[in-house]
């Protein structure tokens, strides 16, 4: 059984993960509009992966005897000033999520809730990978600068991502 406070915070995180999915789906739509199909594909897969993250929290809350309480999902941004800006936003968002996961781990330890701390370990590792993947994409944008052929090649590279759960670019 988890504490009331932990239940509330895990429900908040469930909402954060659903928002992550919504945000990346919005980025997918932005890239589709720009005819950058590889980036759109990458974001579509990212959105699916975030849904899986949300369901991990959903299932865990139930498994430990808590109550899932769904809240409204915040409206995501709709447009970005450039493809690079969208990925920079994605990186900033992942850093925010890392902060949330770290907060949850701290809370679990302060409550001596070892089961939840163990459950959260997967997310600690996942955040290292997520930040690393998106950082590399942002770095690629910096190398490309204003070169359209570089953008074309990066779009093609990102189109290779084809399975939810695969965070490689």
Say which residues have a Cβ less than 8 Å from residue 59's Cβ, sequence separation at least 6. Answer: none
Which positions from 23 through 42 interact with ligand OFO, judged by CB under 6 A?
none
Beta carbons within 10 angstroms of residue 146's beta carbon: 6
Tokens representing 37 are 């199909």
Which positions from 79 through 98 interact with ligand OFO, judged by CB under 6 A?
94, 97
Q: Binding of ligand OFO at residue 161 (CB under 6 A)?
A: no
Task: Please state the closest distance from residue 33 (CB atom) to ligand OFO, in A.
Answer: 22
- How far, in Å, CA of 45 to CA of 161, rounded? 7
- Nearest to ligand OFO of 50, 155 (CB atom): 50
Q: Binding of ligand OFO at residue 14 (CB under 6 A)?
A: no
Strands (E) in the chain, as ranges, are none
Closest CA to 91 of 132, 30, 45, 33: 132
Q: Binding of ligand OFO at residue 11 (CB under 6 A)?
A: no
Q: Binding of ligand OFO at residue 155 (CB under 6 A)?
A: no
Interface residues with ligand OFO (CB under 6 A)? 17, 20, 50, 53, 94, 97, 130
């Amino acid at each position: 059984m988890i504490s009331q406070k932990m239940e509330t915070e895990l429900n908040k995180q469930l909402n954060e993960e659903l928002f992550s999915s919504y945000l990346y789906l919005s980025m997918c739509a932005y890239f589709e509009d720009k005819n950058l199909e590889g980036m759109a594909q990458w974001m579509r897969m990212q959105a699916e992966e975030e849904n899986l993250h949300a369901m991990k929290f959903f299932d865990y809350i139930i498994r430990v005897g808590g109550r899932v309480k769904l809240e409204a999902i915040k409206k995501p941004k709709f447009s970005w000033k450039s493809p690079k800006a969208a990925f920079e936003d994605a990186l900033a968002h992942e850093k925010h999520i890392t902060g949330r996961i770290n907060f949850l781990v701290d809370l679990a330890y302060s409550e001596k809730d070892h089961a939840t701390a163990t459950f959260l370990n997967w997310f600690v590792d996942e955040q290292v990978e997520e930040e690393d993947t998106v950082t590399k994409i942002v770095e690629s944008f910096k190398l490309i600068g204003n070169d359209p052929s570089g953008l074309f090649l990066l779009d093609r590279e990102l189109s290779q991502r084809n399975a939810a759960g695969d965070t490689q670019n």
